[in-house]
Amino acid sequence: MNSVSPSGVQYMVGGGAHEPSSQSRHHNGHGPVPDGIREEPDEVDRLKAKFMSAWNNVKYGWTVKSKTTFNKTSPLFLLGQSYLFNSEDEVERFRQVFVSCVWLTYRREFPQLEGSSLTSDCGWGCMLRSGQMLLAQGLLQHLLPPDWRWSDCHSLSDVDFEVLKPRSPSRPAGMSLPSFSSSWTSPVSQRDPSSGSNEGHRRTLEQCPAVSHDPQVEALHRKVVSLFGDHPSAPFGVHQLVQLGKESGKRAGDWYGPSVVAHMLRKAVAKSAEFQNLAVYVAQDCTVYKGDVMHLCESPLTQELPESSGTGWKSVIILVPVRLGGESLNPSYIECVKNILKLKCCIGIIGGKPKHSLFFIGFQDEQLLYLDPHYCQPVVDVTQGNFSLESFHCNSPRKMNFSRMDPSCTIGFYAQTKTDFESLCYAVSEALSSSKEKYPIFTFVEGRGQNYGLEGQSSGSTDGPANIFSCHRTSRNNKRGSADEFVLL
């Protein structure tokens, strides 16, 4: 079996800093290798790669038992939906949505990356994996029905639900209550397929009409996962992203920042022949230019068709690289981030802790809910029609305090129709207005970027510098502000 059951996966604790080491950079040389020229690794490089691969497999392969505690009295927001864990039905609803998210992690033993000796992305590819998860969430919303849930999604594991109260010297942080039914709390690894121990799990699924059993829909689900396979032909796999990263001066083994990954995802979707009806727009200078989005999404071949036909507009994923403070997160932006994560049009945030990328998909109280790519799994051959989906879905939700969030991140949104895009602009603008800072995280403006002196467009064939500009401006007259650049992760 090629996959590892996510029921046994416990996220790595500590050791998360992924500063590219000299070992991981041994193949870089003193400059980029021109396209078409393959740098052949020597025997020493191969041995180093094998050693680093073995070390990373140990470092990111260990499992540590720990539990995530959820407050039963506070709402949790996940991908625009609210959940209050005061009943089994509500926990079951959350379980189906969380486990249905595509989870992409480190992999080992995949085909060698071109121009290097690397056969694993352990220790350096976490931002690529987070970007993949953001794009995968957008594709699920683009291709699958809104109420789709994975029919084989597993039970939650290593979670507690408590009535949490404020800390005080004389009172503990939480008061445990009896657990709900074990039909959703028992780990998958504890269920014996040959016995009736998973009968309760099957009954739970049968009682939930939202779970999809449509073979065509499930085929689309499998198709989405296969697009991120770890082989050179996968359009959104690590091999393809590393190739696209060369245009920004990045190579396999380098650290990738959230704005660089945003542009790599845009290029990957534009290059793919399978998504002619989907576009990716990357904001510039913390500004979404509505005219550029309209120009990108209006198909020249179908502009004359009525909007009701649904063929004159490309669906769009909007990626907004931002910085929410200086060396650490500015607390004034926390409420704004919460309001953004409450929106149904938000497909997540790629960021994390400093030099430790995570994919944020929701929050509860003062803690972010995330999917973590820092677990090394064997490669899965997604070219096989019946490949296992088990290792591409996680059933162990994790949380992290907002105060630990790195200020560099990229926020993702999805709009299927022109009307959806207009609604998105209004809803996001309202969410941004909640910031206590003088200036919002980013803005929407009319017109196109070229009208404000921007030389290139995020949808064009050429890119400017891979970094982006600071959102802290001295003026917001819908023009480009300070040219102070910030350092990416």
Catalytic residues: 126, 372, 374
How many alpha carbons fall within 13 Å on the CB side of residue 358? 26
Which of 24, 26, 276, 264 lies closest to 130 in space, CA to CA? 264
Q: Maximum Cα–Cα distance for the chain, whole Å? A: 70
Running DSSP on this structure, what letter comes out for residue 305? S
Q: What is the C-alpha to C-alpha distance for residues 322 and 319, in angstroms, rounded to an integer?
A: 10
For the residues of 371-406, what is the DSSP string, one character each? E-----EE---TTSTT---GGGS----EEEEGGG--
What residue type is assigned to position 244 of the chain? L
Residues 6+ apart with CB under 8 A from 169: none
What residue type is assigned to position 125 of the chain? G
Which of 423, 414, 427, 422 lies closest to 315 in space, CA to CA? 414
Q: What is the C-alpha to C-alpha distance for residues 435 and 331, in angstroms, rounded to an integer?
A: 10
Q: What is the C-alpha to C-alpha distance for residues 167 and 163, in angstroms, rounded to an integer?
A: 12
Give the neighbor-by-neighbor strand order of the sheet with 159-164.
68-71, 159-164, 174-176
Residue holding tokens 């919002």? 440
Tallying the residues shown for the chain, one arrives at 489
Number of neighbours of residue 466 by Cβ within 10 angstroms = 19
For the residues of 75-130, what is the DSSP string, one character each? -EEETTEEE--SSHHHHHHHHHHHHHS-----EESPPPPTTS--SB-TTT-HHHHH
User: Sign of the CA dihedral 246, 251, 252, 256?
Assistant: negative
